[in-house]
Amino acid sequence: MDMLRLAKKLFPICRSITGNGQLETLETIKMQIPLNILEYETGEEYYDWKIPLEWNINGAYIQTESGEKIVDFKNSNLHVAGYSVPYEGTISFEELKKHIHFREDLPEAIPYVTYYHKSDWAFCMSKNQFDKLRRERYTVKIESSLTNGYLRIGEYLKKGKSKKEIWFSTYTCHPSLCNDNLSGIIAGVELVKYLESIGETKYSYRVLFLPETIGPIVYLNEHQNIIDNILGGYVLTHCGDKAPLTYKKSIAENHDIDNMLLRSLERLGKQYSVQPYLPLGSDERQYSSPRFNLAFGSLMRSSHTPKDISNPFQPDWKEYHTSLDNLDLLSIESLTEVIEVYIECIRNHELNAIYKGLYYGEPMLSKHGLYVDPTDDLETAKAVFYFQGFSNGTTSLWDIHDKTKVDINLLAEVASKFEACELVEIVD
């Protein structure tokens, strides 16, 4: 299925951190790529958190005295705040008003609101809709349920030669919102397709589709044994609007996670800006929290972080967390460009090996069939001499490239030949 068709298929589904919408999303993804769907029971505790009851909703409306349904869940799944408790009753305008969210500054937008951590209900509507409400009594119905069930996580793993893992993490808990985060989900699907299309890799790659915040917390808690193997990763989000590229650095700032992504942007000749790490945004907050302290970056178009960080909770793109973040905002061209950079980034990580020479003095190249006469093949001769001379267990292939300007792929090829001769070993 192409990216646009998948986006159109996933868009209408009412997702939350649990429930049928999230399951349907994961099953749709699973039709595209190999995916392991993991289930964790509601009520179970993970670190400081507990999985909430599973939330589902069949319908909801607000009806006037004259019987007109002025707000209906059928029209937009944003109309009901996520995790709203079931409710039925006829109430005054004043009472109803306490349960309504709208955006004063965006009169046409329905805001996206969740009630994960309170036991209440609410409707969301546009300012324009709200302004039309008369001072009368309204019949309100929310056909939702909160029941025992599961939190679900989609997991893809490509095992590489090394136990070291690079992660791509994206979240599947937002309802009909497009840049945030159908764009990330589609990027995740495309990266898995790429990983499936290539041969054995050096690193292991893990691509996760999970509900934001609680998803990584549950998954990390259940996979503590692999945390030491994680090199770092990227959070896939905000990949699809038309804004220029922005890279939000990892908490480690100059980690290979950052260096390889930035190198990819450079090698592809992209224009981009860079933002420092802040513990706001998406799931980098969990992965980089003090005890995990993992390096996670994120290549975005519009960023979570505004240019003016005096209010970092309000991104610069006005459509954020409203009904304006819809399919019209999605640019397949923009999304494709982000995926292209991540694919280049995987390639660059794969090339980013450190080798340690096992020889004392130079090896006798001709004895091992490794000697190349510069007059026959100048570039390969350089690659051979530079690789053997700099492979001291601390200098990566990229470092050698930076010192010598020799093509990185040629250095990698030469490295493989030395490895086959058991003259070097890779440093993990």
Structure tokens at 378: 């100048």
Assess 405 for contact with a second copy (CB under 8 A). Answer: yes
Assess 390 for contact with a second copy (CB under 8 A). Answer: yes
Give the interface segment with a second copy, choosing from 23-31, 83-91, 106-114, 307-315 (CB under 8 A). Answer: 307-315
- Minimum distance, C-beta of residue 65 to a second copy, in the bound complex (Å): 33
CA atoms within 13 A of residue 278's CA, in its CB half-sphere: 14
Q: Which of 28, 56, 289, 336 forms a contact with a second copy (CB under 8 A)?
A: 289
Residues of span 250-279 touching a second copy by CB under 8 A: 251, 276, 278-279
Structure tokens at 266: 């450079």
Assess 119 for contact with a second copy (CB under 8 A). Answer: no
Assess 403 for contact with a second copy (CB under 8 A). Answer: yes
Give the interface segment with a second copy, choosing from 78-86, 212-220, 300-308, 338-346 (CB under 8 A). Answer: 212-220
Name the residue nearer to a second copy (CB basis): 184 or 363. 363
- Minimum distance, C-beta of residue 374 to a second copy, in the bound complex (Å): 4
Assess 357 for contact with a second copy (CB under 8 A). Answer: yes
- Minimum distance, C-beta of residue 84 to a second copy, in the bound complex (Å): 18
Give the interface segment with a second copy, choosing from 8-16, 152-160, 259-267, 289-297 (CB under 8 A). Answer: 289-297
Structure tokens at 178: 């497009």
For residues 415 and 355, is the Cβ–Cβ distance under 8 A? yes
The amino acid at residue 245 is L
What is the Cα–Cα distance from 339 to 190, expressed in whole angstroms? 7
Assess 220 for contact with a second copy (CB under 8 A). Answer: yes
Radius of gyration of the chain (CA): 26
Residues of span 331-350 touching a second copy by CB under 8 A: none
Chain position carrying tokens 């470092």: 399
Query: What binding mask, one character per residue, do residues 37-76 give for a second copy by CB under 8 A, x or -?
Result: ----------xxx---------------------------
The dihedrals phi and psi of 399, each to the nearest 5 degrees, come to: -60, -45
Name the residue nearer to a second copy (CB basis): 197 or 311. 311
Name the residue nearer to a second copy (CB basis): 161 or 223. 223
Name the residue nearer to a second copy (CB basis): 101 or 137. 101
Assess 356 for contact with a second copy (CB under 8 A). Answer: yes
- Minimum distance, C-beta of residue 272 to a second copy, in the bound complex (Å): 21
Please, what is the Cα angle at 397 between 392 and 399, to 5 degrees? 80
Name the residue nearer to a second copy (CB basis): 300 or 381. 381
Name the residue nearer to a second copy (CB basis): 190 or 258. 258
Name the residue nearer to a second copy (CB basis): 135 or 313. 313
Chain position carrying tokens 């970056």: 297
Instruction: Give the largest Cα separation in the chain, rounded.
Output: 94
Give the interface segment with a second copy, choosing from 153-161, 182-190, 323-331, 364-372 (CB under 8 A). Answer: 364-372
Residues that bind a second copy (CB under 8 A): 47-49, 117, 213, 216-217, 220-221, 251, 276, 278-280, 285-286, 288-293, 309-313, 356-364, 366-367, 374, 378, 381-382, 385-386, 388-393, 403-405
